[in-house]
Amino acid sequence: MATLHTQTLHPWLPLTRLHILFHLLSLFALFYYRVNLLLHQPTLPWLLITLAEAIFAQLWLYNQAFRWRPVTRAVATENLPTEANLPGVDIFVCTLDPQKEPTVQVMDTVISAMAMDYPAEKLAVYLSDDGGCPVTLFGMREAVEFAKEWVPFCRKHGVKLRCPKVFFSPMGEDEHLLRSDGFRAEQERLKAKYRDMQKNIEIFGRDPKNSSLVLDRPTRIEILNEQSEMPLVVYVSRERRPTIPHRYKGGALNTLLRVSGLLSNGPYVLVVDCDMYCNDPSSAKQAMCFFLDLETSKDIAFVQFPQMFHNLSKKDIYDSQSRRAFTTMWQGMDGLRGPGLAGSGCYLSRSALHLQSPNQNQNDVFDHNAPKEFGKSTMYIESLKAIIYGNQSTQKQIPRDVILEEAQAVASCSYEKDTNWGEEVGFSYAILLESTVTGYLLHCRGWRSTYLYPKRPCFLGCAPIDFKEGMLQMVKWGSELFLLGVSKYSPFTYGISRMPIMHCFTFCYFTSTTQYGVALMIYGLIPQLCFFKGIPLFPMVTEPWFGVFAILFISSHGRHLIEILYGGGSLRSWWDEQRSWIIKSLVGGIFAPIVAIKKLFGLNKAKFTLSNKVIDEESFKKYEQGKFNFQGAALLMVPLVMLLTVNIVCFFGGLWRLLFVKDFENMFGQFFLLSYLVALGYPIFEGIITMKSKGG
């Protein structure tokens, strides 16, 4: 078989590793200096600053795992088997609340999924409606009607942009060039039909009783399309009762796994968030290049695409794109044993979600324990056998209404009681970030994953673009990862004995990032106050030891700058990312542990903060201009404003003092640090002033 995929090691790998060694030696020098000083004359400020540096150093160490062996991959879809021999793919779209996730936007995602470039009879699209809202079901019906013409149109003309909203927008203009008159007429007609669809959904949703959540309800499963040139489309709203835990998105995904197992049973599933439309219809084929390769197919549990966003501005002051995560980190993990699971834009192997490990003896899977593992449905267990033993035939003979009745049963909220669902089967419930923890546990069980970062983004979603939304997301992720770090699955205890140390370090890093909060608080207060009072914390600028600090500063900032320039970024984006990193680490690092600890002691009810996908015009304008928008985030801003104020007051106060005392040599290190922070903080300051002047 011709090769389906290739991998390239980062060309600068030897240099990177040399740099790691160099930085490590400099760190040793720093701690030699600090510890010596402390032994001779222990003072509180020195003790604190050493503690902060120790935290930075520890996190730096874990961080190097991402730089140890980054790879990039390419696929050759032309070498795939013929369409008739491709395996089935079930697409899962999850939505919850039409107020925050506008139904028309969700339908764009669903329609783009139906239009995937993949044989229609091998494709099925499932929408999980966790809110049980009438408007969602209504929207699905409308979307299917539209797709019945849209999908054939895309296939016939080889349209690449299969999200109708984008196709009909100025961004889709390239697609309209050099087309026949027939194409144009058809396109105009479809455009009108699409507008009608949107209007119908909007009108229907305007009635509050159609768009409010129904959180006490029976299961509702509807097959919305069985026409053969289109994929199977199924609407699923699982049973929900106020007294029974529903496990948020993880619970929704596990329900979809079971329902789809009965109905279409594709060996692979694609999970997308409801705002993440398919921007390149070939992603399924790209993913198959790994799943169908004899070499890699044995132990690959999932193929992850980067999460990318359609609403980013050039400046992206909040770093909403999470640049570092989806370039440096995921590629770094990919060279070890694979990236983490990001929850959207990922193709997963159904058998990996059900088997203990890639090497599990297949005869052990379905012993007498099977109902205890997978629940009581024998029909579901049969569907699993079909996946694991590779025989798909048995199910086809069962009548549809019998299957649908069984689907009702597996979507009920009592189905998972006394089973292994959410533990070793399906998506994990250990923390609310079902994706991260599921990916991590799959890696613990010996599975691998791969990362594919094609030039054309395969999925595009909606990123938060104001301070409040961005920070809420940070706190959500940070607190859950903190909880993972102190749970029985902690990478420091559970992971370390189950995965290679380098790979484990990457998860240690994720669960420890809240420690940046402590380190940044110290580094944002102590040198400042000491500058004001004239207490030096760094060596004199004329002393050789000063060189160690200078080297470490240049080494870490230079590394970051080179990383950004290499990825096509600018000096400006480096500067902005420095700031957003500090903001996120500080705010996340302070609030996330508080939320986590409250939850640990049962003071806070578990709650999933659903991110808002409605972008209002004013926020968007501010974001486009690169201006900070702190609307509605007073509490989250407290630490930031406090540190900024201390910094500015101490900076000018300390300068005043310097004028008289003239101990510039002693204070240069702190003077530099404070100037750097004042410059970096300036736009935040500006944002606060404009908010104040508007009476916010």
Ligand X SMILES: O=c1ccn([C@@H]2O[C@H](COP(=O)(O)OP(=O)(O)O[C@H]3O[C@H](CO)[C@@H](O)[C@H](O)[C@H]3O)[C@@H](O)[C@H]2O)c(=O)[nH]1
Please give the order of strands across the beta sheet that includes 308-309.
277-278, 459-461, 308-309
Binding of ligand X by 91 (CB under 6 A): no
For ligand X, which is the closer residue by CB, 5 or 249? 249
Instruction: Quote the CA–CA distance of 267 and 260 in Å, as a whole number.
Output: 10
Site string for ligand X, 228-247 (x = CB under 6 A): --------------------
**Do the annotations mark residue 275 as ligand-binding?**
no
Distance in angstroms (rounded) separating the CA atoms of residues 255 and 414: 11
What Rg do the C-alpha atoms of the chain give, in angstroms? 27
Q: What are the E-state strand segments in 45-203?
A: 71-75, 89-95, 123-129
Q: What amino acid is encoded at 177 in this protein?
A: L
How far apart CA 319 and CA 309 sit, in angstroms, is 11
**Binding of ligand X by 94 (CB under 6 A):** yes
Q: Which of 4, 433, 522, 688 binds ligand X (CB under 6 A)?
A: 433
Specify whether the CB–CB gap between 163 and 277 falls below 8 A.
yes
Alpha-carbon separation of residue 54 from 26, 35, 492, 533, 556 (angstroms): 13, 11, 18, 24, 15
Residue type, 511: T
Cα separation, 226 vs 223, whole angstroms: 7
Kindly identify the residues of this chain, within the stretch 297-336, that bind ligand X according to CB under 6 A. Answer: 307
State how far the Cα of 691 lies from the Cα of 32, in Å rounded to an integer: 46
Beta strand ranges found along 98-239 (DSSP E): 123-129, 220-225, 232-237
Instruction: Quote the CA–CA distance of 378 and 391 in Å, as a whole number.
Output: 16
Query: Which CB atom, from 395 or from 609, has the smaller least distance to ligand X?
Result: 609
Site string for Mn ion, 604-643 (x = CB under 5 A): -------x--------------------------------
Residues 368-407 that bind ligand X (CB under 6 A): none
In this structure, are strands 89-95 and 268-273 parallel, antiparallel, or unpaired?
parallel
Among Mn ion, ligand X, none, partner that 343 touches (CB below 5 to 8 angstroms by kind): ligand X
Least gap, CB of 407 to ligand X (angstroms): 18
Cross-strand partners of 278: 459
User: For this structure, is 418 an active site residue?
Assistant: no
Choice between 75 and 271, CB closer to Mn ion = 271
Candidates 515, 611, 647, 670; binder of ligand X (CB under 6 A) is 611
Nearest approach, Cβ of residue 276 and ligand X (Å): 7
**Residue 156 · residue 190 · CB < 8 Å:** no
| Contact flags string 261-280 toward Mn ion, x per CB under 5 A | ------------x-------
How near is the Cβ of 106 to ligand X at its closest, in Å?
A: 8
Residue in 130, 293, 334, 563 binding ligand X, rule: CB under 6 A: 130
306 versus 639: smaller Cβ distance to Mn ion: 306
Q: What is the DSSP string of 534-554?
A: T---S--TTSHHHHHHHHHHH
334 appears as a binding residue in the annotation: no
249 is in an annotated binding site: yes
CB of 462 to ligand X, least distance (A): 8
DSSP sequence for 105-124: HHHHHHHHHHT-SS-GGGEE
Binding of ligand X at residue 108 (CB under 6 A)?
no
Neighbours of 82 (CB within 10 A): 7
Q: Shortest Cβ distance from residue 308 to ligand X (Å)?
A: 11
Specify the amino acid at residue 615: I
Report the residue closest to ligand X, judged by CB: 343
Neighbours of 555 (CB within 10 A): 15
Q: Of ligand X, Mn ion, none, which one does residue 16 interact with (CB within 5 to 8 Å by kind)?
A: none
Choose the one of ligand X, Mn ion, none that binds residue 458, judging by a C-beta under 5 to 8 angstroms depending on kind.
none
CB 70 within 8 A of CB 548: no
Cα angle at 541 between 535 and 544, to 5 degrees? 120
Select from 347-355, 362-370, 542-550, 603-611 the region that touches ligand X (CB under 6 A).
603-611
Residue 252 contacts which entry, ligand X, Mn ion, none (Cβ below 5-8 A, type-dependent):
ligand X
Q: Which is nearer to Mn ion, 337 or 476 (CB)?
A: 476
- Report which of 235, 241, 291, 296 is spatially closest to residue 266, judged by C-alpha positions: 291
From the list ligand X, Mn ion, none, which binds 108 (C-beta under 5 to 8 Å, kind-based)? none
Strand pairing class (89-95; 71-75) = unpaired
Q: Is residue 437 within the footprint of ligand X (CB under 6 A)?
A: no
Total length of the chain? 696
* CA terminus-to-terminus distance, the chain: 64
Q: Which is nearer to Mn ion, 351 or 612 (CB)?
A: 612
Q: Which of 150, 248, 447, 623 binds ligand X (CB under 6 A)?
A: 248
Measure the CA–CA gap between 586 and 516, rounded to whole angstroms: 7
Residue 101: which of Mn ion, ligand X, none does it interact with, CB under 5 to 8 A by kind?
ligand X
Catalytic residue among 112, 351, 435, 573: 435
Q: What is the DSSP string of 484-533?
A: HHTSTT-IIIIITTTS-HHHHHHHHHHHHTTHHHHHHHHHHHHHHHHHHH
473 binds, among ligand X, Mn ion, none (CB under 5 to 8 A by kind): ligand X
* Annotation says 293 is catalytic: no
Residue 617 marked in a binding site: no
Residue 66 C-beta: closest distance to Mn ion, Å = 23
Identify which of residues 580 and 611 has a Cβ nearer to ligand X in the complex.
611
Catalytic residue among 97, 108, 117, 130: 130
Q: Which of 159, 274, 387, 530 binds ligand X (CB under 6 A)?
A: 274
**In the complex, minimum distance from the CB of residue 274 to Mn ion, in angstroms, rounded to a whole number:** 9
Nearer to Mn ion, 255 or 611 (CB): 611
C-alpha distances (whole Å) from 634 to each of 100, 343, 631 are 21, 30, 8
Torsion of CA 541, 547, 550, 555, to 10 degrees: 170
Told to check if 101 binds ligand X by CB under 6 A, we report yes
Consult the annotation and say whether 299 binds a ligand.
no
Could you say which of 53, 117, 142, 273 contacts ligand X (CB under 6 A)? 273
From ligand X, Mn ion, none, interface partner of 433 (C-beta below 5 to 8 A by class): ligand X
Conformational region of residue 540, where left means phi above 0, alpha means psi within -120 to 50, and beta covers everything else: beta
Residue 307 or 670 with smaller CB distance to ligand X: 307
- Per the CB < 8 A criterion, the answer to whether 90 and 124 are in contact is yes
Binding residues, by number, are: 100-101, 130, 249, 273
Residues interacting with ligand X, by CB under 6 A? 94-96, 101, 128, 130, 248-249, 252, 273-274, 307, 343-344, 433-436, 473, 608, 610-611
Binding residues for Mn(2+), by number, are: 249, 273
Question: Which sequence positions are flagged as catalytic?
Answer: 130, 435
Binding residues for UDP-alpha-D-glucose, by number, are: 100-101, 130
Residues interacting with Mn ion, by CB under 5 A? 273, 611
